[in-house]
A and B are shown apart, each in its own frame.
Chain A
Amino acid sequence: MGITVEGANKRFGDFQALKDVSISVPDGSLTALLGPSGSGKSTLLRAIAGLEDLDSGRVVINDEDATAKPPQNRGVGFVFQHYAAFKHMTVFENVGFGLKIRKWKKPEISDRVHELLQLVQLDGLAGRFPSQLSGGQRQRMALARALAVQPQVLLLDEPFGALDAKVRKDLRTWLRHLHEEMHVTTIFVTHDQEEAMDVAEQLVVMNNGRVEQSGTANDLYEDPANEFVMSFVGEVNRLGDSYVRPHDIEVVSDPDASTEEGMVQRIVALGFEIRVELVLADGTEVWAQLTRNELQRLELREGQIAYLRPVQAKSFNGSSPSDPGASTPRGPRDEGDAEVSAAV
């Protein structure tokens, strides 16, 4: 059950959007495809929906090979970044569209549509046209429309990307609650790591058309497979060959063998959290995350010399992140990580 993609390849002209991508999403889970733009995450989602044909590879939805099926036979609900509202139809007609195609009877359509409009808190706006709705309302309408046909899987392509910050935060909380209620297998695409960590139970990090790592937010943060995952999921400093999280840098007032000297350039107070920016003797810029109490204890000032001790540094010798052209040999560990279902 769930969704499996095996060895997916997709090329657009000279651009290879997917390179031998395999993922496995467990039944009923909420998974995020996370990556920068151009990483192939949207292409992968669209391939699962049947909106893109793969050059090679397989898509399996609930144990059925869907690779050759057209989108209308895959049992997917798809939510687009820009809503894709049917502009000439009312909210009611939009949500009821899939049911009408399935030749439901009018009273049944009406019952189901109103039930869904209640769920997405748009009851009372059934007679409006999409142009009379706000962005957040349109996206909730699009979600109700996708859910109306009771899809086996729900796919969302940057669903909150076109909305402002406040609405985005509300909607993602709401999506998480919705998923807890409905338990439909859900994949959503985002480039925002905070959003992915906030909403999803598990994350698939993509870069340059490949899956870099899959796992829970905690797995990715604590045990990143390579530099790319380490720097994309969470903040990171680079010290020589190793990487260290800003909260894993200790700032002390007395030097010893394990410390490095740096000059405090800037101190930024972000509420309880303090961001201390330093420059090392070799010109490397790093920043450390301290608490307000620590800062007061150290009595740091801008322009002052301080000593840093990386508590937990990571280095990724030999396993560089995939980049176009260079095909990196991938160890068994990486392959194991690409399979979400087994681990989670």
Chain B
Amino acid sequence: MSSSRSSRWGLRILGIGYLTALLLAPLVMIFFKTFEDGLGPPLDAITSPDGLHALKLTLLMVVVAVPLNTIFGVGCALLLVRHRWKGNAIIDGIINLPFAISPIVIGLALFLLYGTNGWFGPVLAEAGIKILFSIPGMLLASIFVSLPFVVREVVPVLQEIGTDQEQAASTLGANSWQTFWRITLPAIRWGVAYGMVLTTARVLGEFGAVTIVSGSISGETQTLPLFVAKQFEQFNYAGAYGASLLLAVLALSALLAMNLLKRKEA
């Protein structure tokens, strides 16, 4: 009895200690470092024109990439689960690519494809469309790296709910559009929401792929993570920590918003 109790406590302490050392300590450290010299320095860095521009650009990435990947993700999950055919295994594999490949490699691949000697680069350049070192390229990179999350969250939920409810709706007179909006989507909503939160967090934090395609030009093609790196290189630690903290707060508030909605419903 007492030995099982002490071993239980041992395991708890081990678990908490492991998480603290690996996850919490660095974050707490950033928090303290940010406000080491008061609110002034980090606030100044974030509210500087470059800082504000980086924040705006980061939010733009989220506002474009998350809805696109959500629509694609739900559609793709429906295709994978509800319409079984031989190509599904291939689609399933392709969707996992962003997980498997390092973001910096993704950045390089986009750089090659849209560069002056790439397949798409010259054609688009002729049409006057600039992809690299500008916002379209950064959006492409953000969408690429965060593409699998909604699909991966929704597929198991779709499998679990089965087709009975959808078929029942169709016998009751609902067409496939009505069935999707009234039956399928409400049934998978928390899978979609969780996928969206993960997508948001991934887009907010994306560094490797965006660095390559953006060129990280201050005040032009710099997102918050790139801004953090630049501040760090320039020994402006307060600015780097402040922007880091802002990123963490943005990601956590997305998670918090979902949990609040979920609790409100339950």
Contact = CB atoms under 8 A, between A and B. Distances in A.
Interface of A: 49-51, 70-72, 74, 76-78, 80, 82-88, 97-98, 101-102, 142, 145-146, 148-149
Contacts of B81: none
B183 interface: yes
Contact of B165 (A70, A71, A87): A87
Interface string B178-208: 1000110011000000000000000000000
A149 B164 contact: no
B28 interface: no
A72 B187 contact: no
A101 B169 CA distance: 9
B187 A149 contact: no
A86 B183 contact: yes
A146 B168 CA distance: 9
Nearest to B179: A72
16 contacts: A70-B170, A72-B170, A72-B172, A74-B171, A78-B171, A84-B164, A84-B165, A85-B165, A86-B165, A87-B187, A97-B169, A101-B173, A101-B178, A142-B168, A149-B172, A149-B173
B172 A101 contact: yes
Interface of B: 164-165, 167-175, 178, 182-183, 186-187
A288 to B, nearest CB: 45
B170 to A, nearest CB: 4
B174 A101 contact: yes
A71 B167 contact: yes
Given A84-B165, A101-B178, A76 B173 contact: no
Contacts of B186: 88
A149 B172 CA distance: 7
B170 A71 contact: yes
A71 B187 contact: no
A162 to B, nearest CB: 12
B167 A78 contact: yes
Contacts of B169: 86, 97
A78 B168 contact: yes
A146 B171 contact: yes
Contacts of A87: 165, 187
B24 to A, nearest CB: 36
A101 B168 CA distance: 13
Contacts of A86: 165, 168-169, 183
A101 B170 CA distance: 10
Given A86-B183, A87-B187, A88-B186, A80 B174 contact: no
A142 B168 CA distance: 9
Given A88-B187, A145-B172, A149-B172, A51 B165 contact: no
A84 B182 CA distance: 14
B165 to A, nearest CB: 5
Nearest to B178: A101
B137 to A, nearest CB: 41
A142 B178 CA distance: 19
A183 B196 CA distance: 50
A331 B1 CA distance: 77
